[in-house]
Amino acid sequence: MAKQLDYHTIREIFTRFQESSPEPKGELDHVNAYTLLVAVALSAQATDAGVNRATRELFKIADTPEKMLDLGEEELIEHIKTIGLYRNKAKNVMKLSRILIDKFDGEVPNSRAALQSLPGVGRKTANVVLNMWWSYPAQAVDTHIFRVGNRTGIAPGKDVDAVERAIEDHMPVDFQQHAHHWLILHGRYHCKARAPMCRSCIIRDLCQFEEKTI
């Protein structure tokens, strides 16, 4: 685990990320808060591209909790069966849709606790929805962010909660809104798990990763 980087180094890193990609976006397709919630719930142990393929036609016919319940679990399964753990995810989508109708007037709530009360919605999923839909600077730590945070020293931590706290505590406020997107994209396309592209990395000189590729 790398040592925590100082304020000035982190600011320089995120200045470079910002210059490279001023408005980073999440890669899950959605049309409203509900479809974003469903897409993120489906994305566990699956790629965003795979989820987008599965939901492309689904969200045309089921973009509200009511429409999803009308569609039914078996028909939902037909749409998402290419995604890992699809049967369990289908059950959770149907359950959370019912709860949204019964307890939240069919609307997606915008507190972390309320979101996490829904089946299949953990802290990471809740943080993605809060960040992407309500522009709240929540930090959704996935495997990419965990890896980048620990390799670089941007946000080292023994578990995802520690990394999330490190980002919140050490990230300059003006970068917090987009921080998790910059980190996810950096981990997905540059700081890869098995073959990090250190040679072309824009923060190579600031990174503490000891096993940099030449």
Q: Which amino acid is at 192?
A: K
Whole-angstrom distance, CA of residue 9 vs CA of residue 22: 19
Name the active-site residue from 48, 91, 105, 124.
124
Active site residue 102: no
Judge residue 87's burial from the number of C-beta atoms within 10 Å of its C-beta, 0-12 exposed, 13-18 middle, 19 or more buried: exposed
Name the active-site residue from 6, 29, 63, 142.
142
Whole-angstrom distance, CA of residue 187 vs CA of residue 123: 20
Active site residue 142: yes
Are the C-beta atoms of 156 and 3 separated by less than 8 Å? Answer: yes
Catalytic residues: 124, 142
